[in-house]
Chains A and B, each alone.
Chain A
């Protein structure tokens, strides 16, 4: 009996000691502050879904060099104060290596001082250029969403090519519209384009024929509408009703198939500068973004039964940059930051081909956009 007892005990002790003999590798913690609820939830929701999906995919494939990743997602409720609290919690309690987000420009600006004093990299999903400029004061800050200026440049570059010199603009009275108006006013002169009319409307307005009539009367050759939400459909329908006789351009906020369906035949002929995420199936097979866009969009649609949209893509790019940086340099905040600044070159993401540098923490320019026209209820890339 004695021998049996000894054998049993030794087996038991081996079993008990197993974990300490062969420990599971420690998880790399990454934080995310997203506007999952509140006014900006249309941004935060696809971003959150994207991160959850990618975390599973990465961990199922063995994680980063064998270490799983753990993404801790905090809901900022689209509120600046909540975003700052979330950042402090992620840094002090969870001790994350880096933070993805926040989803909006206002929240990002609010957390920047915290990130700088805690010396932790932040990759924002918001678009305003002031997030990464001046670069000297944004040592730890990056972003993956293209600047509004880049969209405006892509649009005006195309207009210059087809000989348009006078433009009337319509903007929504939200931060998105205001940023767009600034971007258009600043970039238009570089392309020899004059803004001859400048009109506005509220996010829930029901008729914009007055503004469109004024734009037409000002002698503009095209009208540009810069907005998000139902306003862009109302403008499209009014433009169609009035038979305005001048082409309608929309901002990249129009980039969802839903908008074409809602506007119906009124949307025919609208021109939009779009990131390649929504038009991946129109790209040539040789395009460096095509493969990853196809996988991301089809995976997302299969899992969440909705379009990821450009916004989900911003979170995708932010996480993939971090994953690559951690894989190459290990879990060190400073090294991760240096890697993103210096080694993200010709890097294909969902938003475009990124080229980060010590003087550019966004890495995208107007080449991230294609000019697209609505034709037979579908997008079509304009060759020019």
Chain B
């Protein structure tokens, strides 16, 4: 029993990381239909800046976190202004390719600033791991799960209850129609990049004490986070969270009961099977997907 629980907790820890990264994909997708493949780099920037402010400059925890989130938001803003807005032909595939280019440039800059070594800082709360029926879970995992839940609630309220959020969603479905109704599409796209960068930074700050952070962790985070997002249904906050936890727990149970060498393969195969039966993801709606351009 305690062994099974331990596998489950391990899966929760892994899944919480994926879920949190997956959330960031949804914001830009909801506003633009772009898949931002530089999302992983936002997470890395958040984690590394947090280290820079709290460990290297010795600023208090909350101020460091706030600064890290704001700076990453600024980088999101610059990314949109410098690379997405100037594009004349708003072709989706082209813009996704631009995000790949941005991720490579950001990785290079991070390597110059921070080198190739991993960084970490203390968990949010010190203290022994929590023992439940003989299995242990790190306190930081609970923090990540708590912050993820908070983010989903905030995102739900934003996209469904505020005018700004609804306007952003309208832009993704049909930018021309949105513009006719008086929505400033350019501004919505800009806000979505800033918000998604900030969401990435929050994820980075929360997961770094568990995973450590180094300049080239971005692509791996982006791939797993993206899997979580499409498994749950792109654009659905709770979807990417459920997707993240499913992938994490599958990986952990495969490692535990089959073999640790096969864990990535088995998790991906099960994800493909789910997508085969529900192409729009667990919570996604096929009708909405058909209406979208991508």
Contacts and interface: CB of A to CB of B under 8 A. Distances in A.
A227 interface: no
A229 B211 CA distance: 12
Interface residues of B, number: 32
Nearest to A213: B6
B116 A41 contact: yes
Contacts of B118: 229-230, 233, 262
Interface in B54-95: none
A199 B260 CA distance: 6
Nearest to B217: A204
Interface in A185-239: 199-202, 204-211, 213-214, 217, 229-230, 233-234
A242 interface: yes
A207 to B, nearest CB: 4
A173 B261 contact: yes
B13 A206 contact: yes
Contact of B116 (A42, A209, A213, A242): A42
B207 interface: yes
A211 B136 CA distance: 14
A177 to B, nearest CB: 11
A258 B120 CA distance: 11
Contacts of B183: none
Contacts, number: 75
B210 to A, nearest CB: 6
A287 interface: no
B266 to A, nearest CB: 13
A243 interface: yes
Interface in B3-18: 3, 6-7, 9-11, 13-14, 17
A210 B3 CA distance: 9
A206 B252 contact: no
Contact of B7 (A204, A210, A233, A241): A210
A210 B255 contact: yes
A147 B138 CA distance: 37
Given A199-B255, A213-B3, A262 B212 contact: yes
Contacts of B252: 207, 210
Contact of A241 (B138, B217, B256, B264): B138
B124 to A, nearest CB: 15
Contacts of A42: 116
A304 B260 CA distance: 40
